[in-house]
């Protein structure tokens, strides 16, 4: 294979390699020891070395070198595992390149030409591999070449697909091609001699929508913060719209919220994304949402088939989906018949004899001695073989787990012992009783234990008996357990409210939490044991919310219920630290504990947080906000009259946020809210959308007449508070919702008020055609808006904090922030994997505890900063090398935390000094760039700091007193102490005088001034002026050539710097006894240099000359993208 040219020394090459073929410019070599019949000692040694090395470090046995006559340096340009492969490359070089090389007079040009040609061959191979993945490889290769030619993006910018379309400019359509790549959408048109081309990064897209106007039948509108663009006349607009939405969604999730959102592993590697993978991913997301499967499930096969449905006495046509751990069937009409078969329940999958009535049948047998018959399966043999291989692997894994667990059980205690810490004020007897409760995991639902305190009436009991009988009949007809057929009949039973005796079982069945529980036996007990006694931000929030969870229910007025709730929430926070604990989880967990055993409640909470409401329960509740945005669009679609009367739907969606986060539990009476949870476990988030629309429709007249948001809130709150249920009408002692205060009988709604069953049935009748597929498509689009809204908020907060400290105008500061952020994104687009990971990790800022999420904050590393430095620095530089050195020093100076990252505040402060500050501040900055820590001992290695400062993400006291070292402080006290220390450090920094500059540092200072003046119109006058200033300063330094004066200066500096327990810096050490006498004696101060510069008017004019920062920023915007892309391409090519 062709290889990016790598330098090797020829003398080293001859020791380990044998030359097989050669000419004036190329060598074909074989590794010693490879293919040698005789056992020579050198060959044996090299062969043994290659055998010992791991597969990543082993050297391929054949290679081709490019050699320049008379040079000891060669370049490896091709490698191969077989001689035939390398011979093909050799023949190509001989026939296509060798004769052309003789025309070059300069031998170095030969090397450059060949290296460039090899890189071109590699790029062609990459294009070939990309094209081979497409339906029409030759056509795609041609389009790929045009894409690279038109836009000049790096080769790592992978093209995914393209479409022929029109881009509208006012009323004028421009016919051209829309290219969709992993990070951008690009359009190119050349019509009637006029070229139109532009590139839109996905990271700048704020909205995607389909529109219709008088001129266009239908178009795709793409909005950014600057403008809108409309595209139409697609051959397949639906497909193009879906692919654009998918790519934008994937890119924004990867670029803007990699910490919070779960992204499939395939999509985390953008270079692997193809149009086919996007189609597969869209189908996978739909299947996971429809069957509410774990997010890690991988979709394997999709096959059309029919399944025997005993309740209908016929075969029902639909689609079979197979994943890692499930067989899923859905009828053609979504939701009319659904079947879920976990592989853990399956005993065998067998082919039956095919007949005319039963073509290609497959029998799936399960552990409950039932079987399911599938027919009309295409590619039956391959499907059954694949399923059986996964089934065997799962059964083997289960048997190994059980044998290992049985071995552990023989040596361990059968009942785990738990201890939990929380503050109580019990007496001794109560404390002993409480200790017993803490150490006992509940084996029954809390409602069972506390049922006696809430006796129901005869009517309530009779209603429960009716429901139980209906469900038992249903089980006989449709099956019981997770493999039960789910049809519209269940929908009617669920709308009535599940019987309390079966509610926990049905929740476990419908959510498939039962499979998770069975496959993770003992997991919850071990999790509780690991998490007990640990203190974190999540555990503190849990303790604060424990007594706010259903406070009026007797189960949570009792230590037993509180202890169980604590265990479930703490165990989940330990299981999933990315979520930890989020408000409203306590309400959900407390309801789950009422009707399910403690371990079952834990797995139900896992199902809700990780599968049924993905991305809901994190610090930014992105998932809930996305669904609020989707809800707004559904209101416009399904309730257009209300949307017309209430133009600003954000008020309604803000009210409905708690509906989604707590599944209506916080706004409905208790029993009514439980009925909603029943529907949620059956239909997922679709049930909440439907019910929300039904609530708004029932109040549409009042909402349309409302005059403000407060009135709308009161209308909805009053309506929801009076929604009753059969249980609440019979049971006056039923507790209200979590946020509803305990009241008298007058607070209980009358029977004539809205019944929850009627409301749920109305939601199914009017909005039941809402499909999971439609919801998933809307989520994909609206996630773009929500993530960009968060970005806008972060930007506003950052600018608000930085603006008071700088004199740059708000408009220019906004543009600088955009440049700063774009620089970060460019590294994510085209940097190597290590730089991408480092850049993304740097963008997430955490608290000093290292675990509490704060917010996203963009920061630049050294190469990114140097790129922006070159674009924005106002002073011309004669020497590229010296400009690079100065950029390195500036980065070191600004990197106050010593974490090799620069924040926007630090960057804006530096830019403000250059463009807006007075002359003395500019000189002060230049002065600081030529003394430690900016000036390092080795300019070649900027990481070697002479004077490392204290980092603010470490404790500020380095040497603590002995009596304090052993004292353990609470982390909040440490945080308070750290803030106080930071304030002291700032005060000290404000008063600290600048250190003196020695002779070597002053020479570097003069070099920088000479470099800055190069190319200036007043260059000659400036050079004369700086020569005069240099001579004057040298005389001042010689005049102060007294050892005792120098010593006193150092002492005074050490007194200022060495306050308290902070250790002496390396700068002080370098000016101590170990330094040379000449450096110690010759020093000048900042004031002396400033005074000398002020004596020369050309220098004063140069530094006081105003520079148009707006023009510089505009120029940087034009250059940044392609300049940075070119640099990254060169870096990748040379690596």
Alpha-carbon distances, residue 1039 vs 29, 526, 1033, 1036, 1042 (angstroms): 68, 76, 10, 5, 8
pLDDT of 712 higher than 80: yes
How does pLDDT run across 644-677, given as a tens digit for each residue? 888 788 888 778 888 999 999 999 999 999 999 9
* DSSP string computed for 1011-1066: HHHTT-TTHHHHHHHHHHHHHHHHHHHHHT--HHHHHHHHHHHHHHH--TTPPPPH
- pLDDT, tens digit, 9 for 90 and up, residues 803-854: 999 999 999 999 999 999 998 888 888 776 555 556 555 555 444 333 333 4
CA neighbor of 206 nearest in space, from 186, 226, 232, 184? 226
Element (H, E) at 469: helix 458-478
pLDDT bucket at 402, cuts 50 / 70 / 90: low
Give the C-alpha distances (Å, rounded to integers) separating 150 from 146, 178, 1121, 1130: 6, 12, 15, 19
Kind plus residue range of the DSSP H or E element containing 703: helix 700-705
Which of 347, 340, 258, 345 shows the shortest CA–CA distance to 293? 340
**Would you state the pLDDT for residue 88?**
87
Selection from 698, 775, 662, 635 nearest residue 335 by Cα? 775
Neighbours of 563 (CB within 10 A): 23
Asked which of 347-351, 369-373, 494-498, 1126-1130 is least confident by mean pLDDT, the reply is 1126-1130
Torsion of CA 76, 82, 83, 89, to 10 degrees: -50
The packing angle between helices 709-721 and 650-661, to 10°, is 30
Give, in degrees to the nearest 5, the angle at Cα 352 between 348 and 355.
Answer: 160
The residue ranges of DSSP E strands in 291-443, in sequence order, are 299-309, 314-323, 326-331, 337-342, 346-351, 362-366, 371-375
**Local confidence band at 585 (pLDDT 50, 70, 90 cut-offs):** very high
The CA-atom distances, in angstroms, between 1062 and each of 235, 703, 1054 are 70, 64, 11
Helix ranges (H only) for 725-859 are 726-730, 756-767, 772-802, 810-830, 833-842
Tell me the two tokens of residue 964.
């304090």
Rounded to whole angstroms, the Cα distance separating 1027 from 1021 reads 10
pTM greater than the 0.85 cutoff: no
Contact 491, 764 (CB under 8 A): yes
Confidence at 463, pLDDT banded by 50, 70, 90: confident
**What number of helices (H) and strands (E) belong to the chain?**
46, 26
Mean pLDDT for the chain overall: 79
CA–CA separation, 866 vs 903, rounded Å?
14
Q: Give 1126's contacts (C-beta < 8 A, 6+ positions apart).
A: none
Of 3-12, 395-404, 833-842, 1115-1124, which gets the smallest average pLDDT? 833-842
Q: Are 387 and 327 in contact (CB under 8 A)?
A: yes
What pLDDT is recorded for position 1042?
A: 54
Residues across the chain? 1135
Q: Which tens digit of pLDDT belongs to each residue from 267-324? A: 777 778 888 889 999 999 999 999 999 888 999 999 999 999 998 899 999 999 999 9
**What pLDDT score was predicted for residue 187?**
95
Based on its alpha-carbon atoms, the radius of gyration of the chain, rounded to whole angstroms, reads: 36
Residue 906 pLDDT greater than 90, yes or no:
yes
Q: Are the C-beta atoms of residues 893 and 909 closer than 8 Å to each other?
A: no
Q: Is the pLDDT confidence value at 385 over 80?
A: yes
Identity of the highest mean pLDDT range in 133-142, 209-218, 283-292, 857-866? 283-292
- Residue 65's nearest CA partner among 93, 85, 44 is 93
Distance linking the first and last C-alpha atoms of the chain: 16
Whether 630 contacts 649, CB under 8 Å = no
Q: What is the pLDDT of residue 967?
A: 40
How remote is the C-alpha of 390 from its chain's centroid?
A: 31
CA distance 756 to 4: 69
Q: In what order do the strands lie in the sheet with 337-342?
A: 346-351, 362-366, 371-375, 299-309, 314-323, 326-331, 337-342, 486-487
Nearest to 1037 by CA among 1090, 1088, 1073, 995: 1088
What distance in Å separates the CA atoms of residue 317 and residue 105, rounded to the nearest whole number?
76
pLDDT band at 259 (very low <50, low <70, confident <90, very high): low
Long-range CB pairs of 356-361, under 8 A, 24+ apart, other chains included: none
Residues forming beta bridges with residue 362, ordered by sequence position: 351, 374
- On whether the CB atoms of residues 246 and 208 are closer than 8 A, the answer is no
In this structure, what are the phi and psi dihedrals at residue 211, rounded to the nearest 5 degrees? -130, 160
pLDDT at 981: 61
CA distances from 654 to 383, 571, 670, 778 (A): 47, 31, 22, 18
Are the CB atoms for 225 and 206 separated by under 8 Å? yes
Other beta carbons within 10 Å of 209: 16
pLDDT digits (tens, 9 = 90+) for 476-507: 999 998 889 999 889 889 988 899 999 999 99
pLDDT at residue 137 above 90?
no
Q: Which runs of consecutive H residues, i.e. helices, occur in 895-998?
A: 904-916, 919-928, 962-965, 971-991
Cα 649 vs. chain centroid, distance in angstroms? 29
Please spell the DSSP secondary structure of 1083-1130, one letter per residue. Answer: EE-HHHHHHHHHT-HHHHHHHHS---HHHHHHHHHHHHHHHHHHHHHH
**DSSP secondary structure, 570-628, as one string:** HHHHHH-TTT---TTHHHHHHHHHHHS-HHHHHHHHHHIIIIISTT-SSTT-HHHHHHH
Query: Which phi and psi (to 5°) does residue 314 adopt?
Result: -160, 175
Give the Cα separation of 282 and 286 in Å (integer): 6
Confidence of residue 782 (pLDDT cuts 50, 70, 90): very high
DSSP run (H or E) holding 855: strand 853-856
Is the backbone of residue 136 left (phi > 0), alpha (psi -120 to 50) or beta?
A: beta
Q: Is the peptide bond before 933 cis (omega within 30 degrees of 0)?
A: yes
Three-state SS for 962? helix
| 470-477 CB contacts, 8 Å cutoff, 24+ apart | 470/496, 471/498, 471/499, 471/502, 471/506, 477/310, 477/311
Q: Which residues 6+ apart lie within 8 Å of 655 measured at CB?
A: 712, 713, 716
- Which pLDDT value is given to residue 937? 63
């Amino acid at each position: 294979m062709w290889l990016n040219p790598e330098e090797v020394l020829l003398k080293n090459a001859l020791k380990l390699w044998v030359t097989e073929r050669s000419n004036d410019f190329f060598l074909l070599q074989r590794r010693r020891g490879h293919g040698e019949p005789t056992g020579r000692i050198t060959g044996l040694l090299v062969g043994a070395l290659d055998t010992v090395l791991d597969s990543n470090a082993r050297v391929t046995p054949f290679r081709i070198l490019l050699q320049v006559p008379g040079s000891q340096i060669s370049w490896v340009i091709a490698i191969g595992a077989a001689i035939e492969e390398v011979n093909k490359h050799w023949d190509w070089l001989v026939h296509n390149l060798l004769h052309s090389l003789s025309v070059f007079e300069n031998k170095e040009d030969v090397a450059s030409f060949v290296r460039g040609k090899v890189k071109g061959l590699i790029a062609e191979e990459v294009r070939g591999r990309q094209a081979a993945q497409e339906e029409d490889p030759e056509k795609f290769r041609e389009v790929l070449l045009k894409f690279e030619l038109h836009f000049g993006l790096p080769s790592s910018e992978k093209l995914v697909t393209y479409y022929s379309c029109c881009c509208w400019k006012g009323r004028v359509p421009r016919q051209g091609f829309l290219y969709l790549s992993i990070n951008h959408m690009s359009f190119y048109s050349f019509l009637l001699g006029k070229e139109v081309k532009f590139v839109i990064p996905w990271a700048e897209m704020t909205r995607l929508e389909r529109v219709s106007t008088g001129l266009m039948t239908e178009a795709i509108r793409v909005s950014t913060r600057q403008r809108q663009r409309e595209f139409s006349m697609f051959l397949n607009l639906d497909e193009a719209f879906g692919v654009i939405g998918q790519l934008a969604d994937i890119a924004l999730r990867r670029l803007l919220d990699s910490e919070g959102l779960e992204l499939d592993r395939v999509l985390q590697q953008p270079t692997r994304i193809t149009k086919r993978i996007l189609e597969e991913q869209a189908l996978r997301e739909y299947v996971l949402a429809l069957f509410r499967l774990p997010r890690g499930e991988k979709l394997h096969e999709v096959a059309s088939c029919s399944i025997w449905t005993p309740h209908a006495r016929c075969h029902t046509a639909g689609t079979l989906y197979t994943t890692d751990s499930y067989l899923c069937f859905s009828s053609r009409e979504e939701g009319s018949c659904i079947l879920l078969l976990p592989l853990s329940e399956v005993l065998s999958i067998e082919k039956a004899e095919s007949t005319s009535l039963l073509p290609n049948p497959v029998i799936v047998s399960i552990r409950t001695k039932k079987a399911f018959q599938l027919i009309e399966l295409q590619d039956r043999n391959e499907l059954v073989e694949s399923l059986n291989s996964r089934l065997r692997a799962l059964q083997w894994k289960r048997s190994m787990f059980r044998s290992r667990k049985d071995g552990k059980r023989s040596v361990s205690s059968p009942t785990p012992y738990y201890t939990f810490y929380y503050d109580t004020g019990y007496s001794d007897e109560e404390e002993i009783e409480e200790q017993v409760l803490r150490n006992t995991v509940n084996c029954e639902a809390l409602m069972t234990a506390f049922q006696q305190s809430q006796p129901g009436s005869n009517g309530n009991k009779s209603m429960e008996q009716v429901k139980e009988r209906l469900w038992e009949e249903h089980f006989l007809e449709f099956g019981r357990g997770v493999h039960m057929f789910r049809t519209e009949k269940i929908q009617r039973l669920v709308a009535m409210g599940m019987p309390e005796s079966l509610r926990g079982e049905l929740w476990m069945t419908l959510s498939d939490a039962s499979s998770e529980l069975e496959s993770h036996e003992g997991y919850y007990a071990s999790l509780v044991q690991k998490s007990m006694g640990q203190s974190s931000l999540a555990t503190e929030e849990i303790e604060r919310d424990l007594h706010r969870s259903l406070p009026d229910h007797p189960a949570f007025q009792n230590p037993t219920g509180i202890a169980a709730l604590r265990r479930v929430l703490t165990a989940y926070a330990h299981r999933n630290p990315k979520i930890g604990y989020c408000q409203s989880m306590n309400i959900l967990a407390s309801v789950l504990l009422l009707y399910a055993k403690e371990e079952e409640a834990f797995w139900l909470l896992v199902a809700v947080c990780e599968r049924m409401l993905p991305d809901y329960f994190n610090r930014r509740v992105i998932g809930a906000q996305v669904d609020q945005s989707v809800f707004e669009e559904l209101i416009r679609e399904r309730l257009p009259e209300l949307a017309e009367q209430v133009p600003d739907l954000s008020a309604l969606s803000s009210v409905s946020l708690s509906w989604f986060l707590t599944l209506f539990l916080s706004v409905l009476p208790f029993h009514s809210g439980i009925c909603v949870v029943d529907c949620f476990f059956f239909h997922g988030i679709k049930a909440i959308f439907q019910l929300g629309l039904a609530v708004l429709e029932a109040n549409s007249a009042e909402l349309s007449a409302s005059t403000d948001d407060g009135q709308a809130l009161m209308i909805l709150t009053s309506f929801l508070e009076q929604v009753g249920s059969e249980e609440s009408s019979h049971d006056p002692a039923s507790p209200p919702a979590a946020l509803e205060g305990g009241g008298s009988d007058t607070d209980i709604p009358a029977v004539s008020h809205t019944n929850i069953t009627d409301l749920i049935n109305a939601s199914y009748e009017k909005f039941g055609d809402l499909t999971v597929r439609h919801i998933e498509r809307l989520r994909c689009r609206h996630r773009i808006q929500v993530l960009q809204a968060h970005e806008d908020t972060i930007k506003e907060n950052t600018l608000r904090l930085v603006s008071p400290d700088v004199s740059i105008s708000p408009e220019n500061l906004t543009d600088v922030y955009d440049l700063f952020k774009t620089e970060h994104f460019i590294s994510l687009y085209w940097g190597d994997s290590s730089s991408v990971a480092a850049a993304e990790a740097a963008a997430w800022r955490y608290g000093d505890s290292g675990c509490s999420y704060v917010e996203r904050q963009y920061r630049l590393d050294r190469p990114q900063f140097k790129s922006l430095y070159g674009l924005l620095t106002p002073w011309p530089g004669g020497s590229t090398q010296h400009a690079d050195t100065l950029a390195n020093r500036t980065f070191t100076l600004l990197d106050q935390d010593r974490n090799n990252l620069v924040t926007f505040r630090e960057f804006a402060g530096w830019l403000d000094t250059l463009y807006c500050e007075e002359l003395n501040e500019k000189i002060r900055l230049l002065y600081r760039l030529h003394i430690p820590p900016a000036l390092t001992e080795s300019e070649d290695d900027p990481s070697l700091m002479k004077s490392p400062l204290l980092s603010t993400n470490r404790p500020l006291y380095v040497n603590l007193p002995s009596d304090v070292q052993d004292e353990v402080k609470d982390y909040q006290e440490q945080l308070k102490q750290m803030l106080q220390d930071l304030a002291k450090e700032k005060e000290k920094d404000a008063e600290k005088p600048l250190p003196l500059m020695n002779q070597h540092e002053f020479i570097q200072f003069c070099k920088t001034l000479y470099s800055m003046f190069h190319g200036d119109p007043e260059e000659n006058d400036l050079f004369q002026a700086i020569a005069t200033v240099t001579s004057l300063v040298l005389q001042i330094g010689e005049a102060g050539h007294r050892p005792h004066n120098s010593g006193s200066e150092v002492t005074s500096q050490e007194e200022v710097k060495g306050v308290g327990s902070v250790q002496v810096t390396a700068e002080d050490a370098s000016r101590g006894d170990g330094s040379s006498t000449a450096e110690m004696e010759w020093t000048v101060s900042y004031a002396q240099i400033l005074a000398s510069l002020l004596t020369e008017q050309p220098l004063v004019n140069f530094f006081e000359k105003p520079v148009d920062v707006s023009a510089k920023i505009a120029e940087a915007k034009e250059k940044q993208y392609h300049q940075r892309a070119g640099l990254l391409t060169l870096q990748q090519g040379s690596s």
